[in-house]
């Protein structure tokens, strides 16, 4: 009986020791878990904060990309418009150049016929009176050709007058022209400076100095990007709304 009591007390002591050890282990684990939970919570908070910053940065980047796309579309439309204007002006310049060339040929032919008719008149004035009819016909033909020459000269005056290149600045930013110049009260005047086969540049004529028109270049259209003194050119006025765009 006494032995049984001793065994019971020993078992109770062992059981109590096991319970105490379990509680101590649980307390240690709870402390470790609490520290780990705090660390994970702090890490999660930092991660959420970083995610918000990246989300804001992404939103800003998207807005910037949208603005850049709008600017790109606007510039593309502007380039398309300018190319269309350039092609139209080039075609118009070619048409006017061809008309001027044909007018020059017609004037040369009429002058040749006029000289021939004058020579015939000189020859016929020395002939007897019976040739007076031929003389009258020649004089009538002469008057007809003189009238035709006047008409051709009138038509030719409608084409742009030729000007001479006086010089161009070394950096290609300023040009000077002489010849039939615009009125001073029309300045500043937006113009295209052209040759018969192409538009060379677009810019403004700003002032007149001693019979020389001084202007600045906005854009060169020729790959040579210059003009040589003495070259023949003509100017076409630009619409002011084109120059302002």
| Distance separating alpha carbons of residues 118 and 136, to the nearest angstrom | 12
Q: Tell me whether residue 58 is in a domain.
A: no
Q: Tell me whether residue 33 is in a domain.
A: no
Angle at the Cα of 19 from the Cα atoms of 14 and 24, rounded to 5 degrees: 125
Specify the CATH number for the domain of residue 182: 2.40.10
- The residues facing 220 across adjacent strands are 201
pLDDT computed for residue 225 by the predictor:
66
Domain coverage including residue 177: 163-244
pLDDT computed for residue 151 by the predictor:
55
Q: Tell me whether residue 20 is in a domain.
A: no
Q: Tell me whether residue 17 is in a domain.
A: no
What b-and-e string marks burial along 96-130, b requiring 16 or more CB atoms within 10 Å of the CB? Answer: bbeebeebeebbeebeebbeebeebeeebeeeeee
Tokens linked to 61: 């980047």
pLDDT computed for residue 223 by the predictor:
63
CA distances from 171 to 83, 212, 221, 224 (A): 25, 19, 15, 13
Domain count, the chain: 2
pLDDT computed for residue 99 by the predictor:
83
In this structure, the answer to whether residues 169 and 206 fall within a common structural domain is yes
In this structure, the answer to whether residues 99 and 139 fall within a common structural domain is yes
Tell me if the pTM is above 0.85.
no
| Distance separating alpha carbons of residues 220 and 233, to the nearest angstrom | 14
Q: Tell me whether residue 122 is in a domain.
A: yes
In this structure, the answer to whether residues 123 and 167 fall within a common structural domain is no
pLDDT in tens, 25-83: 777 777 777 778 888 888 888 888 888 888 888 888 888 888 899 988 888 888 888 88
In the listed set 141, 156, 171, which residue is the last one of a domain according to the structure? Answer: 156
In this structure, the answer to whether residues 131 and 189 fall within a common structural domain is no
pLDDT computed for residue 181 by the predictor:
84
| Distance separating alpha carbons of residues 117 and 128, to the nearest angstrom | 18
In this structure, the answer to whether residues 168 and 149 fall within a common structural domain is no
Q: Tell me whether residue 177 is in a domain.
A: yes
In the listed set 129, 156, 183, which residue is the last one of a domain according to the structure? Answer: 156
In this structure, the answer to whether residues 215 and 230 fall within a common structural domain is yes
pLDDT computed for residue 241 by the predictor:
40
Tokens linked to 198: 């192409």
Q: Tell me whether residue 239 is in a domain.
A: yes
Q: Tell me whether residue 51 is in a domain.
A: no
| Distance separating alpha carbons of residues 107 and 148, to the nearest angstrom | 9
Give the chain's residues under pLDDT 70.
1-7, 10-11, 126-130, 146-160, 222-225, 240-245
In the listed set 109, 128, 156, which residue is the last one of a domain according to the structure? Answer: 156
């Amino acid at each position: 009986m006494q032995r049984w009591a001793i065994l019971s007390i020993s078992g109770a002591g062992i059981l109590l020791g096991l319970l105490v050890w379990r509680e101590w282990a649980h307390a240690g684990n709870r402390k470790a878990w609490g520290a780990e939970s705090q660390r994970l919570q702090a890490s999660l908070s930092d991660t959420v904060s970083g995610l918000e910053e990246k989300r804001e940065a992404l939103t800003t980047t998207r807005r910037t990309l949208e603005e850049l796309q709008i600017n790109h579309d606007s510039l593309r439309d502007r380039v398309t418009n300018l190319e269309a204007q350039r092609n139209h002006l080039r075609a118009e310049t070619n048409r006017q150049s061809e008309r001027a060339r044909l007018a020059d040929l017609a004037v040369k032919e009429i002058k040749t016929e006029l000289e021939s008719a004058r020579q015939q008149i000189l020859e016929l004035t020395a002939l007897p009176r019976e040739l007076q009819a031929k003389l009258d016909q020649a004089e009538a033909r002469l008057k007809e050709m003189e009238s035709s020459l006047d008409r051709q000269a009138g038509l030719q005056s409608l084409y742009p007058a030729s000007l001479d290149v006086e010089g161009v600045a070394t950096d290609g930013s300023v040009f000077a022209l002489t010849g039939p110049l615009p009125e001073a009260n029309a300045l500043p005047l937006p113009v295209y400076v052209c040759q018969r086969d192409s538009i060379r540049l677009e810019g403004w004529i700003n002032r007149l100095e001693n019979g020389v028109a001084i202007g600045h270049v906005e854009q060169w259209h020729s790959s040579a990007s210059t003009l040589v003194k003495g070259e023949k050119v003509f100017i076409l006025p630009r619409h002011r709304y084109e120059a302002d765009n």
